[in-house]
Amino acid sequence: MPPEELGAAIHRWRDRLAPADAGLPAGGRRRAAGLRREELAQLAGISADYVMRLEQGRATNPSSQVVEALARALRLSAAERGHLYRLAGLAPPGPATVPAFVPPSVQRLLDRLSGTPVAVYDATWTLLVANPPYAALMDDSSRWRGWELNGVWRHFLGSSGPVVYTPEEERAFEAALVADLRGAAARYPADRRLRALLAELRRHSARFAELWDGGAVGVHAAARKTIRHPRVGAVTLDCDVLSVAGSDLRIMVFTAEPGSEDAERLALLTVLGTQEGFTAPSVRG
C-alpha cells in the first residue's frame, strides 16, 4: 500500500486518542485534543523524528516491533492492529507466533494502577509495556534494548538485576523460568524469535542448558521479593503474576504492606517514576 496511507492512519489514530486515555497528563494548552507526536513516540519507545517520518510517508518499512509498539501506544483494537500491520506491508502475527497484543482493557488496568508497579510480559517473559512505577522500581526499564527486554535472558545472561534471592529462591525461580519457556516453545514451535532466544540461552548459559536438558519443572507463585534500588535502598514487596485469559500474557504486580517502611519507599519510587517520565520499553525503528 502507498506509504501515505500508513502515515495518514497513524495520524488519524493519534488525533483521536486523548492524553488522559493514554495515561498521560493533558499538560497546558493544546491545539488539538489528541496526542502530540512526541507523546506517541514516548509511549511507543521510538523517536519523535521517526514518528514524523512515518506520518509523512518518508519511512516506509517499519519493523514488526515498531508496528506492535505503535498499536499498543495508540490503543488499537485487534482489527485495527491487523490493519496497521497490512498498511506497513507486514502480515499480522498468526496463531503460531507468541502473542504480543495488549488489549485496551489491560492498558486501562495499567493506567488505573498508577501508584502500583505493573508490567505486562508475553509468554516468553519479554516485556511489552510497563507503567512508570514499575520502570522506576527496575531503575528505568525503558532503557532496556533487544534481548534485555526478555526476563529469562536478563537473568541468565544479563548483568545482575535488582532482585535479591536466597540460593533456594533463585533455584526455584530459575526452574519456573525454564518451565515457562519450555511451555511457550511447545505452544509456538514456529516462532522464530523464540527459537533464536532459546539458541542464545543454550549457547551462552551453561546453567540454562543444564536446566533445559534436565527437564526442569517449576511454577511462578506469589512471593515476597526484595529489590535493591540505587536511590531508595532495599524495598521488600509482594509480587503476584496474573494471567490474562485468552491472550497468553502475564501481568506482574508489586504491592507493599500498607503503613510499612516499604510502602513509603514504594511511594517515593512512584513519585520518581512520574517525575522522570518512565513509560514504555524502547524498540528499535
Residues 6+ apart with CB under 8 A from 80: 13, 71, 74
3-87 shares its CATH topology with 104-167+218-276 = no
SS3 content of the chain, % helix, strand, coil (to 5): 50, 15, 35
What was the pLDDT predicted at 284? Answer: 45
CB atoms within 10 A of CB 38: 12
Query: Which triple of cell numbers denotes residue 216?
Result: 526442569
Q: Where are the domains of the chain?
A: 3-87, 104-167+218-276
Helices H / strands E in the chain, number of each: 12, 6
**Phi, psi at residue 237, to the nearest 5°?**
-135, 155
**Spatial CA neighbour of 71 closest among 93, 96, 95:** 93
Model pLDDT for residues 39-75, shown as the tens digit of each residue: 999 888 889 999 999 999 998 889 988 999 999 999 9
Residues 6+ apart with CB under 8 A from 132: 114, 270, 273, 274, 276, 277, 278, 279
The CATH code that applies to domain 104-167+218-276 is 3.30.450
Checking if the pLDDT of 160 tops 90, the result is no
CA atoms within 13 A on the CB side of 184: 28
* Contact between residue 237 and residue 265 where contact means Cβ atoms under 8 Å apart: no
Residue in the block written with cell 497546558: 28
**Phi, psi at residue 125, to the nearest 5°?**
65, 40
Residue in the block written with cell 506517541: 40
Query: Which triple of cell numbers denotes residue 106?
Result: 489491560
* Residue spans of alpha helices (H) in the chain: 3-16, 37-44, 48-55, 64-73, 78-87, 104-112, 132-137, 151-157, 167-187, 192-204, 206-213, 261-276
Model pLDDT for residues 191-228, shown as the tens digit of each residue: 999 999 999 999 999 999 999 999 888 777 778 899 99
Checking if the pLDDT of 88 tops 90, the result is yes
How large is the average pLDDT for residues 80-91?
92
Model pLDDT for residues 127-149, shown as the tens digit of each residue: 998 888 898 888 766 677 788 88
CATH superfamily of 3-87: lambda repressor-like DNA-binding domains (1.10.260.40)
Give the full edge-to-edge strand order of the sheet including 249-255. 127-130, 118-121, 249-255, 233-244, 223-229, 163-164
Q: How far apart are CA 160 and CA 112, in angstroms?
A: 31
* Contact between residue 39 and residue 22 where contact means Cβ atoms under 8 Å apart: yes
* Contact between residue 110 and residue 134 where contact means Cβ atoms under 8 Å apart: no
Cα angle value 158/238/143 (rounded, 5°): 35
What was the pLDDT predicted at 141? Answer: 63
Checking if the pLDDT of 95 tops 90, the result is no
